[in-house]
Structure 1
Amino acid sequence: MRIEHFLLPKDRVAYLSAGATMLDAITHLERCNYSAIPVIDETGKYIGTLSEGDLLWKLKNTPGLTFDNLDTIPVTQIKKRIHHECVQLGADLDDMLQLAADQNFVPVVADDGLFIGIIRRRDIIEYYTRNITD
């Protein structure tokens, strides 16, 4: 089996552009009911994953930052506490499974780093649960 089997393509995934603000991130996370979201630069390359925790720590640790001025903080200025690894589309299934054990989703990129989608841990678990035989 190849990792493409589990791929949720970019056009079906919520993500943020690098030009988004902290307010955009909170609004987007609330709308899609995610706890973390991929961030993509202006060329379409995956540059990281932003989590709810990252947003909360930024709010807590930035004097003067309130809900009223969240639109002044670009997402690229928010420190990410956990580095979410991505996999290339042609990666080994075992490599992807190792990442999925520690991440809710695994971002998938093309050879040139372009973001092409995600693999959700939930989909992996559902697949193996349906296909496990004694």
Structure 2
Amino acid sequence: MEISAFLLPKDQVAYITSSISMLEAMEQLEQHYYSAIPIIDHEGKYVGTLAEGDLLWKLKNTPGLSFDNIREVKVSDIQRHVHNESVYIKAQMEDMLTLAADQNFVPVVDSEGVFLGIIRRKDIIEYYTRNITD
């Protein structure tokens, strides 16, 4: 089965751009109760995932950085420690199980790498649970 049937489209998913500030990224994570969020570039292409831990490491490892000046740091300047691998929209569900073991969500892209949305780990697990018990 193609993964497109499980896609949570981009217009229903919170994501950030690589050009926003660290403060704006934190606000997005807080507003949506996410622990990680997809990042896209100015062309709409998926470039990675920003996790709460990435923000904490940036604060810890940057001398002089505090909550007072995090607005000056761009998301593109934050080292990411989590690598959420994306999948092509025409992939099969069988390709998703390995990714779901390590990722809360799997970013989905088109043939140009443009971010289309995500597939949640919960949906992948439910799919396999239904097929195992049927």
The two structures have a TM-score, normalised by structure 2, of 0.94
Q: Report the secondary structure of 1:63's partner residue.
A: coil
Aligned pair count reads 134
Instruction: Supply the AA of the counterpart residue of 1:108.
Output: V
Q: Which residue of 2 aligns with 1:77?
A: 77
Instruction: Supply the AA of the counterpart residue of 1:67.
Output: F
The two structures have a TM-score, normalised by structure 1, of 0.94
Q: Which residue of 1 aligns with 2:65?
A: 65
Shift of 1:74: 0.3
Q: Which residue of 2 aligns with 1:6?
A: 6
Q: Which residue of 2 aligns with 1:108?
A: 108
Distance 1:60 1:12 in 2: 33
Distance 2:85 2:128 in 1: 22
Shift of 1:133: 2.1
1:122 aligns with 2:122: yes
Q: Report the secondary structure of 1:20's partner residue.
A: coil
Contact residue 104 and residue 121 of structure 2 kept, 8 A? yes
Instruction: Supply the AA of the counterpart residue of 1:122.
Output: K
Of 91-100 and 11-20, more deviation after overlay is shown by: 91-100
Distance 2:127 2:87 in 1: 19
Shift of 1:128: 3.2
RMSD: 1.3
Structure 1's unaligned 5+ residue stretches are none
Shift of 1:122: 1.1
1:21 aligns with 2:21: yes
Q: Report the secondary structure of 2:133's partner residue.
A: coil
Distance 2:76 2:94 in 1: 31
Shift of 1:131: 4.7
Shift of 1:84: 1.3
Runs of 4+ residues over 6 Å off in structure 1? none
Instruction: Supply the AA of the counterpart residue of 1:85.
Output: E
Distance 1:95 1:128 in 2: 12
